């Protein structure tokens, strides 16, 4: 019978449910972003990781932290999660501690860009620990190229965010994608 053959085939293949779930996810990621060089796994887990459910949870958390930003135009949140799904650090875009975030400064775009720390950068700074093999979640869009470089250098293995067509950042996002791909950082983007 077909079902039995399938089961038999699976046994011969020697693949566990976890392997299969990872394969499916791997395949899905590949369809979107080309070959995936690095895939975060959770050693010791005996259940297939429900990747999308956990991604959704941490993206929700990133969204929550984005609201803490005082930036009047763009509010971004970031969450760093270790391979055991524990939140290591959070961040949102804002000025450095103790620096006055006055309306006057926030409303002058050029001045603001010179002073502001991006959410991802803040999360990396707050972590104050080794974040290699951790995942980084950002809302509402993926890291800019400058943050991407720091994320790669910090050893983050996976970045999860939402697709964005924000014209001001499009070139930067393209560059981030290129860098993540070259450096072997897995990138998963969901549609909002």
* Residue 166 known to be catalytic: no
Residue 135 exposure: Cα atoms within 13 Å on the Cβ side: 26
CB count within 10 Å of CB 138 equals 29
On whether the CB atoms of residues 105 and 70 are closer than 8 A, the answer is: no
Comparing CB distances to Zn ion, the nearer of 61 and 136 is 136
Catalytic residue among 2, 45, 52, 120: 120
CB count within 10 Å of CB 45 equals 12
Comparing CB distances to Zn ion, the nearer of 25 and 122 is 122
CB of 146 to Zn ion, least distance (A): 5
Residue with tokens 């984005």: 66
Binding status of residue 118 toward Zn ion by CB under 5 A: yes
Could you say which of 106, 124, 144, 177 contacts Zn ion (CB under 5 A)?
144
Binding status of residue 81 toward Zn ion by CB under 5 A: no
Binding status of residue 142 toward Zn ion by CB under 5 A: no
CB of 119 to Zn ion, least distance (A): 7
Comparing CB distances to Zn ion, the nearer of 56 and 150 is 150
CB of 100 to Zn ion, least distance (A): 22
Comparing CB distances to Zn ion, the nearer of 75 and 118 is 118
Could you say which of 106, 131, 134, 147 contacts Zn ion (CB under 5 A)?
147
Q: Which residues are catalytic?
A: 120
Site residues (CB under 5 A) for Zn ion? 118, 144, 147
């Amino acid at each position: 019978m077909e079902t039995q053959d399938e089961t038999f085939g699976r046994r011969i293949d020697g693949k566990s449910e976890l392997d299969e779930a990872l394969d499916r996810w791997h395949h899905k990621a590949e369809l979107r972003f080309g070959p995936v060089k690095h895939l975060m796994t959770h050693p010791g887990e005996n259940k297939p990781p429900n990747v999308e459910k956990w991604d959704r949870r941490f993206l929700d958390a990133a969204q929550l932290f984005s609201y803490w930003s005082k930036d009047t135009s763009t509010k971004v949140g970031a969450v760093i999660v270790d391979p055991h799904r524990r939140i290591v650090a959070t961040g949102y875009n804002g000025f450095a501690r103790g620096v006055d975030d006055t309306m006057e400064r926030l409303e002058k775009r050029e001045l603001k860009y010179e002073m502001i720390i991006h959410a991802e950068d803040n999360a990396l700074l707050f972590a104050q620990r080794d974040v290699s093999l951790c995942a980084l979640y950002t809302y509402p869009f993926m890291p800019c190229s400058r943050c991407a470089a720091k994320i790669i250098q910090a050893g983050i293995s996976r970045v999860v965010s939402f697709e964005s067509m924000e014209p001001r950042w499009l070139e930067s996002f393209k560059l981030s994608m290129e860098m993540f791909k070259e450096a072997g950082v897995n990138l998963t983007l969901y549609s909002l």
